[in-house]
Amino acid sequence: MAQPLRIALAGLGTVGAGVIRLLESNRDLVSARSGRELEIVSVSARDRSRDRGIDLSPYAWEDDMTAMAARDDVDVVVELVGGSDGPALALARNAIDAGKNLVTANKAMIAHHGMELASAAESAGVSLKFEAAVAGGIPVIKGLREGAAANAIEQIYGILNGTANYILSTMEATGADFSSTLKDAQELGYAEADPTFDIEGVDAAHKLAILAAVGFGAHIDFDSVDCEGISRVRAADIAQADALGYVIRLIGMADIEMGDAAAPVLLQQVKPCLVPKGHPLAHVTGATNAVVAEGNFAGRLLFQGAGAGDGPTASAVVADLIDVARGEIGAPFSVPSGELVAMQPAESGGRVGQTYLRFTVTDKPGVLAEITAAMRDADVSIESLIQQGRANDGGEVLVAMVTHDGPESGVSKAVELLSGSESLTAPPLVMKILEE
């Protein structure tokens, strides 16, 4: 058997502890599949004294984690510190510059600095691997980068945030409203004390930008992700969707269009959407993640599993380590970073499809006429319209409608026409309807 793969592990939160536990409990099979031992030689974290329930005494402790990059006895650095910049990025840069392989679970760092790190890793002839950065334990980076490698990927979309999916599917099951469901989720540990990144779609956007780069061979462009969260989704929207044959899910979606100049442009959106009940994503409940990739030969591929948690994330980290141990060094984003294409972001509004709109309006005559007139003037054709019979406590009435297939730009125009209206008590909630 070859020499052990010597690992420096930075960051000892739940995932770091999970990696240590996994390498202990699955030691024999990991060695058999790697063709060599995986040996942690050095660890580092902010707080040495914290009780993590694991014995750290076998590993050399480094107070300064960036010093791990310089150790002669290390082949690969595992970065589990988190944060797009700061110590994580400093460690990643130093490790690669020192000729170490880098494995990371840090989606924010890859979404912001993945291009730079990939280019550096290629120059240094080392691996940069980040399976754990997207969708936890689901091997979707490998699925796109290798499993679907023979395909032109036409579209990538999915449920990329477990917290948001837990909240939406719980609202669906209980009929409860967003704020109380979020509160319960926080108490149960499914949502963080500050849930902003999860419920506003930022976490999903990080993952989407990474998937798009791998799948389409494009420059990572996190800043262009058009991002909207789930905090405005009401129990009434879920009930309406249900009556119409849909569920509501926070969907990250990326695809390629030919722009005006016939150069491909990249659409990246994270938004709550209506998903037909016959679609596989409609049945993804709880904190589960699921990613669909449509390939031009493979057709629709679905990868589903636990999107977070120490066990699943550790599984992905160690899968990357096994790849490194096997010597499987390849381009981090499937093609060499110099060949990744810088694509312009797609103008939103170019798509054709059905849309769900929900208005909160004052309970007075003429409101429906005003809304439907705006639709007419924007050339939006309405398939169905439901007005709730009774005003809620605030004297507010909900009007929901589904359009026929039509350009999204028409819907945007209708919303704009209504933007000054005194009949609307809040901006309308607009959700795309996924095709089955």
Residues between 216 and 235 with contacts to a copy of itself, criterion CB under 8 A: 217
Q: Catalytic site residues? A: 207
User: How does DSSP classify residue 280?
Assistant: G
Q: Is 241 annotated as a binding residue?
A: no
Q: Tokens at residue 196, please?
A: 């902003």
Minimum CB separation of residue 315 from a copy of itself in Å reads 4
Instruction: For CA atoms 182, 184, 190, 193, give the dihedral sign.
Output: positive
Q: Would you say 361 and 396 are in contact if contact means Cβ atoms under 8 Å apart?
A: yes
Dist. CA 418–CA 422, nearest whole Å: 9
Asked if 168 touches a copy of itself (CB under 8 A), the answer is no
Query: Which residue type is seen at 267?
Result: L
> Which of 151, 186, 354, 372: binder of a copy of itself (CB under 8 A)?
151
Dist. CA 308–CA 311, nearest whole Å: 8
Query: Which residue type is seen at 243?
Result: A
Asked if 305 touches a copy of itself (CB under 8 A), the answer is yes
Residues between 332 and 371 with contacts to a copy of itself, criterion CB under 8 A: 334-336, 339
Minimum CB separation of residue 402 from a copy of itself in Å reads 23
Minimum CB separation of residue 274 from a copy of itself in Å reads 17
β-pair partners for 44? 10
Q: What share of the chain is helix, strand, coil (3-state, %, to 5)?
A: 40, 25, 35
- Give the list of residues 6+ apart from residue 77 with CB closer than 8 angstroms, or none: 7, 8, 10, 68, 69, 91, 92, 95, 100, 101, 102, 103
- Which of 148, 68, 135 is CA-nearest to residue 107? 135
Dist. CA 413–CA 425, nearest whole Å: 19
Asked if 52 touches a copy of itself (CB under 8 A), the answer is no
Q: Is 11 annotated as a binding residue?
A: yes
Q: Is 196 annotated as a binding residue?
A: no
Minimum CB separation of residue 223 from a copy of itself in Å reads 25
Nearer to a copy of itself, 86 or 299 (CB): 299
Nearer to a copy of itself, 131 or 408 (CB): 131
Dist. CA 220–CA 389, nearest whole Å: 47
> Which of 81, 211, 306, 357: binder of a copy of itself (CB under 8 A)?
306
Site string for a copy of itself, 105-144 (x = CB under 8 A): --------------------------x-----xxx--xx-
What are the φ/ψ torsions at residue 293 (nearest 5 degrees)?
-125, 130
Asked if 303 touches a copy of itself (CB under 8 A), the answer is yes
Q: Is 362 annotated as a binding residue?
A: no
Asked if 158 touches a copy of itself (CB under 8 A), the answer is no
Sites of contact with a copy of itself (CB under 8 A): 18, 22, 25-26, 29-30, 32-35, 131, 137-139, 142-143, 145-152, 217, 280, 283, 290, 295-306, 309, 311-312, 314-319, 321-323, 326, 328, 330-331, 334-336, 339
For the annotated binding site for NADP(+), the residues are: 10-17
For the annotated binding site, the residues are: 10-17, 107, 192
